[in-house]
Amino acid sequence: MSKGARALSAATHKLQFLIEWGVDNPEYFDHEIDLYYYWPATRNSLPMERGVWSSFALKEGGSTLDLCCGDGFYSKMFYSLRSSTVTALDFDPEAIRWAKRNHKAANVTYILGDIRTDIPAGPFDNIIWDAAVEHFTPKEIAALVARIKMVLSPGGIVSGYTIVEADHGEKHLHQHEYEFHDKEDLARFFEPHFKNVEVFQTVYPSRTNLYFYATDGPLPHEKSSHLFVRRGRSIAAK
Ligand SMILES: C[S@@+](CC[C@H](N)C(=O)[O-])C[C@H]1O[C@@H](n2cnc3c(N)ncnc32)[C@H](O)[C@@H]1O
């Protein structure tokens, strides 16, 4: 029975994927398609990986702003349990409608707005800008990082994920304004505003992903050092 139920769930989510992506890829995505169809079909765990890396940056019980929240999956499923409040902003009315309907939680507020003009005053302890930095031009990214800095609490942290440009020169999605050359190309936007910036990458067969943390306080690995026990000799990276 459970095998049949799983097959049915995978089939319905695959159908949803084919309908939604058939004509053109949408700008936002229902991540339940990832859970029930795309992840099992491809073994690509990126959708979960990015939720985990941004969660790792969260100040426990802090106020969180989720920029370009899309379907609201991450706002609820990754950030809301460990935040006092989550304010989630997107300029697509359909995405906000979807988020309110499918990822409602008592401490999550979904707001329709363009982040170029409508970022709330805050202050916020955590700002997440995930899978969306690449939807802006370099000039817009620079202005947005300056605005983000203004609405972050002292010592607050901005985190997120974006993508490295493909070797073939084509954009991964046509909605992307700017895909990054490499880690340094992303770090340069945060360095003028933050004392501590960390960018790292994960490599999948079809893409290289970039993760970033920027803060005037300690970076997540430093802040969470009490959570780790380390033994043995470490190898210094060149
Ligand atoms: C690839 S989706 C990522 C959504 C979500 N962060 C996630 O990880 O699933 C990019 C999102 O950015 C939103 N977006 C693009 N430009 C925006 C803008 N200027 N202001 C607000 N949202 C924007 C789109 O509507 C879309 O939901």
pLDDT for 122-176, tens place per residue?
A: 899 999 999 999 999 999 999 999 999 999 999 999 999 999 988 887 888 788 8
Distance 237 CA to ligand 1 centre (A): 35
Using CA atoms, how far apart are residues 2 and 86, in angstroms rounded to an integer? 35
Using CA atoms, how far apart are residues 42 and 212, in angstroms rounded to an integer? 25
The string of DSSP codes covering 45-97 is: -HHHHHHHHHHHHPPTTEEEEEET-TTSHHIIIIIGGGEEEEEEEES-HHHHH
What is the pLDDT, as a whole number, of residue 1? 61
Six-digit token string for 149: 């800095």
Give the number of other CB atoms < 10 A from CB of residue 139.
10
Predicted TM-score (pTM) of the model is 0.93
Is ligand 1 within 6 A of the CB of residue 179?
no
For the domain covering 56-227, report its CATH number: 3.40.50.150
> Which ligand 1 atom is the nearest neighbour of the CA of 50?
8
Whether the CA torsion 121, 125, 131, 136 is positive or negative: it is positive
Residue 182 DSSP code? S
The SS3 call for residue 159 is strand
Using CA atoms, how far apart are residues 171 and 165, in angstroms rounded to an integer? 7
Six-digit token string for 20: 């939604």
What is the pLDDT, as a whole number, of residue 141? 98
The SS3 call for residue 217 is coil
**Nearest residue (CA) to ligand 1, atom 2:** 28
Is ligand 1 within 6 A of the CB of residue 90?
yes
Chain center to CA of 185: 18
pLDDT in tens, the chain (238 residues): 688 998 999 999 999 989 888 878 888 889 999 999 999 998 888 889 999 999 999 999 999 999 999 999 999 999 999 999 999 999 999 999 999 999 999 999 999 999 999 999 989 999 999 999 999 999 999 999 999 999 999 999 999 999 998 888 788 878 888 999 999 999 999 999 999 999 999 998 888 999 999 999 999 988 877 777 778 876 665 5
What is the pLDDT, as a whole number, of residue 166? 85
Q: Are strands 196-204 and 207-215 parallel, antiparallel or unpaired?
A: antiparallel
Is ligand 1 within 6 A of the CB of residue 59?
no
Is ligand 1 within 6 A of the CB of residue 33?
no
Residue with tokens 């803060």: 215
What is the pLDDT, as a whole number, of residue 98? 95
Is ligand 1 within 6 A of the CB of residue 29?
yes
Smallest CA-to-CA distance from 221 within 191, 195, 184, 196 is with 196
Is ligand 1 within 6 A of the CB of residue 95?
yes
Residue with tokens 């097959």: 7
Distance 201 CA to ligand 1 centre (A): 21
Is ligand 1 within 6 A of the CB of residue 69?
yes
What is the pLDDT, as a whole number, of residue 12? 92
What is the pLDDT, as a whole number, of residue 226? 78
Domain ranges of the chain: 1-48, 56-227
